[in-house]
Structure 1
């Protein structure tokens, strides 16, 4: 059960259409597949999606930090020495996606070694989650068409609408068009990716007061602590901290400081280890959470649903589990399937997924 070797494999898979939001846009999934090999011949996998416009990581930096810094610190440890591993990883500042992928690959390897599903090891509350779909920047007509297609094809009835454009009226109009087309029974919430000022965000929320929005996520810059605190006090819509709450310490600051009333947990950013700490922190404080998405592929989505379904608190809301639908292909031997608006956890040991060697050979870029 000792870690014998770690691989960080860069790969690139085009999106069917660009994904556009306030903090940037993505045309290709330039991610990193992390594989942890044990001395027993077991291989655990996870996915690191770099987001340079959010966390500063790139595909090249993730490969480099794993190969040159993290692997030498982790090789030789037992799969059970996770606290030791994280103590060593935390000596290096930043690099959240690299750390998260390494953590989740270790969990996958442990599950395969013990012949247990990771979701059962984490808590085993349920075996599926409702799915929320992200609707990115486009014309009102294109955004409505995307939402209707996803609803009709996959049964999804929860939509996260990307906002944060200027003028604010662009996004207000889009949300109105979506509500009019989808009807009152569909859940809509907004995510600004830090695109608006507090005053712009307050004006937009007032203009959409009749749309029954359920959440507002990271509408203002993450470091505008006072502005976000002021905005949260202006609205009755729950305020979700995402990029501003990436560590347990930041979660404490956001909640106790009044800058947020809910927390987005992203396993692509905090793995299983730190995500569980944040989840229990929120649960103890009586704060709701939503399982977020870092524009993950199917490997990363399998990780998110395994974690979200494992815990009662994180399985209550629809998780953001559908971004992989916009990718032209993926790496799994058996693609994930969303049915009736839900995504089930894969059965089997570990994460229950297998990498297709031919697809990996085709898409890897090293």
Structure 2
């Protein structure tokens, strides 16, 4: 492979894939049910032989994107980026944002692929490009999806037996049912294990206050997005009236949202998802805002494979303000097509790789079976 000077590197071809993988069982939240990943994969080729791979997972009820729309938008963005320099990541982001508003999830797949190329070009893992070290330990929670109190307690008990030190619980029903869910879980899960609850915007303001006050004795680490994402003023009110810390998730689309919430004092924590903010480039901006405001962040995900979540872990290795990890989606999939990447161990422990770029790729045999289009 010949060395190509920085200024001469160009994108020569972009492949766009539809990647569907069934979940082991339906994943239910207050906003809807997911039965399979319907993800989009971007593979960007360059004139020096390097390529970068990115992935994103659209949740239509959260980000307003679906796989079919992403496929079409991706073709448009690929036409925009073809023959451009992949190492000029800020310029490529500016071009995508100028071409179409929003659509952060599909843009995140391009972003990951661009950073993958940069890492391979520099022969460095992404965390090193961002000034970090691979010297942290990571531990993901496991999530109990929204069901009856009895079924949720059974699932939480299974996760405790599997050794997960943190359990995330989906809520967002009525007050009586959600309190009963936590009570049932606490009957079978040791109080030493913190519960991370997530209402996914499912409560009204007064209900949220009442429920969180009722749940205070049950060792709740924090509550994600208790009310509608647009209602930041009321989020301030909830935070001031409840002892359980508040984590903003759906209300943070990008760094502009993060600045507004931090300025208002609306939350204790941010939940950063590459698929929600547009990728690593803008996730770094959110972290900078959080760090300036004294707000720590969780690294989360949608229904990605290990490919996209490995990219997220590079961010975690580069920034100390990421303190919690919600990266259990690969454990919910019926198939793992990823080569290399982060390794999932027992008890929720995750190890980051040290290879250049993302350090993860998709099996060529798996990719060959997927629907795809090519822009060149």
Class of the TM-score when normalised by the shorter of the 2 chains: over 0.9
How many angstroms apart in 1 are the aligned matches of 2:159 and 2:317?
22
Question: Unpaired runs of 5+ in structure 2?
Answer: 1-8
How many angstroms apart in 1 are the aligned matches of 2:113 and 2:186?
40
- For each residue in 1:10-62, what CA deviation from the matched residue of structure 2 results, as whole angstroms up to 9, or x when unmatched? 12111111000011110110101111111112121111111111111110111
Cα separation, partners in 2 of 1:340 and 1:17, compared to 1, 3 Å: closer
**Aligned match of 1:251:** 258
1:332 counterpart (328, 338, 359): 338
Contact 1:304/1:321 (8 A) holds in 2 = no
How many angstroms apart in 2 are the aligned matches of 1:308 and 1:290?
9
Alignment of 1:11 onto 2:19 = yes
SS in 2 for 1:208: helix
Alignment of 1:342 onto 2:357 = no
**Aligned match of 2:294:** 286
Contact 1:191/1:218 (8 A) holds in 2 = yes
Alignment of 1:238 onto 2:230 = no
1:357 counterpart (338, 357, 364): 364
Cα separation, partners in 2 of 1:313 and 1:184, compared to 1, 3 Å: same
Question: Unpaired runs of 5+ in structure 1?
Answer: none
Q: Normalising to structure 2: TM-score of the pair?
A: 0.91
How many angstroms apart in 2 are the aligned matches of 1:267 and 1:189?
20
How many angstroms apart in 2 are the aligned matches of 1:114 and 1:284?
30
Q: How many residues align?
A: 361
**Aligned match of 1:322:** 328
Contact 1:262/1:288 (8 A) holds in 2 = yes
**Aligned match of 1:131:** 140
SS in 2 for 1:147: helix
1:301 counterpart (292, 300, 309): 309
Contact 2:143/2:169 (8 A) holds in 1 = yes
SS in 2 for 1:104: helix
Structure 1 stretch 174-183 or stretch 322-331: which is displaced more?
174-183
How many angstroms apart in 1 are the aligned matches of 2:116 and 2:151?
38
**Aligned match of 1:169:** 176
How many angstroms apart in 2 are the aligned matches of 1:275 and 1:331?
26
Contact 1:305/1:321 (8 A) holds in 2 = no
Deviation, structure 1 residue 364: 4.3
Cα separation, partners in 2 of 1:347 and 1:321, compared to 1, 3 Å: same
How many angstroms apart in 2 are the aligned matches of 1:179 and 1:275?
34
1:95 counterpart (96, 103, 112): 103
Deviation, structure 1 residue 198: 0.8
Structure 1 stretch 332-341 or stretch 349-358: which is displaced more?
332-341
- For each residue in 1:85-131, what CA deviation from the matched residue of structure 2 results, as whole angstroms up to 9, or x when unmatched? 11111111010111111111110111122221112212323354121
How many angstroms apart in 1 are the aligned matches of 2:74 and 2:80?
10
1:71 counterpart (66, 78, 83): 78
Structure 1 stretch 174-183 or stretch 101-110: which is displaced more?
174-183
- For each residue in 1:60-82, what CA deviation from the matched residue of structure 2 results, as whole angstroms up to 9, or x when unmatched? 111111112x1122222223211
Cα separation, partners in 2 of 1:129 and 1:330, compared to 1, 3 Å: same
SS in 2 for 1:333: strand
Contact 1:6/1:37 (8 A) holds in 2 = yes
How many angstroms apart in 1 are the aligned matches of 2:160 and 2:52?
34
How many angstroms apart in 2 are the aligned matches of 1:158 and 1:261?
19
